[in-house]
Structure 1
Amino acid sequence: MAKGHRSQIKRERNANKDTRPNAKVSYAKVSATKAKIVLDTVKGKNVREAEAILRYTPRNAARVIEKVLKSAIANAENNLEMDPSTLYIEEAFANQGPTMKRIRPRAQGRAYRIEKKTSHITIILNER
């Protein structure tokens, strides 16, 4: 059981805000496992190096992640006045989103289920 009143607990939790620049895309039409493969290649890298890697990665998830990375860089530059040349990817993760269920008609009146998976991709940057 938590100690203190609910408003006090919320106040304490909201006091320590994360000031690192980040960007998130929700409901990306890429499965989380496929996105994680690409995210692992750029995790911990310099921002410019990561952009170059993503540009030449032949995976669908790389296009989505590249957009999220550019958004995180813009957030750092415009909102927090950080120098883009000193930024690196500190955290990058993909959580599973809701799955869209679709039906594919098959022979003899049967129906197969097609699952179109989505994910929530987050990139958090920091300065070196």
Structure 2
Amino acid sequence: MEAKAVAKFQRVSPRKTRLVARNVQGLGVEEAMNMLRFTHNKPAGVLYGVLKSALANASQLGGVNVDAMIVKEVVVNEGPVWKRFMPRAQGRAGKIRKSTSHVTVILAEGQE
């Protein structure tokens, strides 16, 4: 059995989010949640929320042992980019790109 949760349009960089997601993939749910809870950066908080949602989705399935679930896959895709401009010296403008991410967490039953 698999459970899945998706968070779209999250205001975190996909590149930074993938660094945190790589550490969690393949771990047991409890261990992954502890690791994310004590990692002090914004992508860890986003991944923690998505993992918690996937766990809640898994508990709604019938006959699934939630304690034995593992993080099968974490996919971080790029979302749309917000384009902004910052005034610079001598009348110029600097481009600022605020990136967003789509985060998908897939949990599966199995042993760690």
- Structure 2 residue aligned with 1:52, among 34, 50, 57? 34
More strand by percentage: 2
Note the residue ranges of structure 2 that are not aligned, 5 or more in a row: none
RMSD in angstroms over aligned alpha carbons?
Answer: 1.0
CA contact (8 A) 1:93 1:122 kept: yes
CA contact (8 A) 1:21 1:80 kept: no
User: The residue matched to 1:124 in structure 2 has which SS?
Assistant: strand
> Residue 127 of structure 1 aligns to which amino acid in structure 2?
E
Q: For residues 31 and 60 of structure 1, what CA distance do their matches in structure 2 show?
A: 10
How big is each residue's C-alpha offset from its partner over 1:6-61, in whole Å with a ceiling of 9 and x where there is no partner?
xxxxxxxxxxxxx6200010011011110000000000000000000000111110
Normalising to structure 2: TM-score of the pair? 0.94
Normalising to structure 1: TM-score of the pair? 0.83
Report the identity percentage. Answer: 41
> Residue 90 of structure 1 aligns to which amino acid in structure 2?
K
User: The residue matched to 1:35 in structure 2 has which SS?
Assistant: helix
Q: Which residue in the other structure is 2:91 paired with? A: 109
How big is each residue's C-alpha offset from its partner over 1:48-107, in whole Å with a ceiling of 9 and x where there is no partner?
000000001111100000000000000000134422101000011100111100010111
In the TM superposition, 1:1-128 aligns within 5 A as 20-128=2-110
Give the number of the structure with larger relative contact order, counting CA–CA contacts within 8 Å between residues 6 or more apart. Answer: 2
Q: For residues 55 and 26 of structure 1, what CA distance do their matches in structure 2 show?
A: 21
Q: For residues 8 and 50 of structure 2, what CA distance do their matches in structure 1 show?
A: 10
Go from structure 1 to structure 2 and tell me whether the alpha carbon gap of 1:84 and 1:106 turns closer, same or farther (over 3 Å shift).
same
Note the residue ranges of structure 1 that are not aligned, 5 or more in a row: 1-18
Q: For residues 61 and 90 of structure 2, what CA distance do their matches in structure 1 show?
A: 59
Question: How many residues get paired?
Answer: 110
